[in-house]
């Protein structure tokens, strides 16, 4: 399943980019709930070496993960939707 990038998640992506950290620097911030909004909760996951998020839709929770490069591409408007999955 895919969800469209909304302003709520775009603002999270912009916040991540504004930190100006490399992936290696983010590895010092293994905090799974660093970014929390009404529909999203996530942060950098050291094991995955990517940002992992939960998206809380109307009835279900979905998971997805993104690289720092992908987050940058979202901010640039190159990516308009992301693939999500049900939790394991």
Q: How many CB atoms sit inside 10 A of residue 60's CB?
A: 11
Domain boundaries in the chain? 2-83
Distance of CA 8 to the CA centre of its chain: 11
* Selection from 8, 25, 4 nearest residue 68 by Cα: 25
pLDDT at position 69 is 97
27-78 pLDDT, tens digit each: 998 888 999 999 999 999 999 999 999 999 888 999 999 999 999 999 999 9
């Amino acid at each position: 399943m895919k969800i469209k990038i909304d302003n709520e998640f775009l603002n999270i992506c912009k916040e991540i980019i504004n930190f100006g950290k490399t992936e290696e620097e983010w590895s010092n911030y293994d905090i799974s709930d660093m970014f929390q909004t009404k529909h999203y909760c996530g942060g950098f996951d050291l094991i995955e070496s990517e940002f992992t998020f939960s998206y809380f839709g109307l009835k279900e929770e979905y998971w997805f993960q993104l690289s720092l490069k992908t987050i940058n591409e979202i901010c640039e408007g190159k990516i308009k939707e992301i693939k999500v999955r049900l939790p394991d």
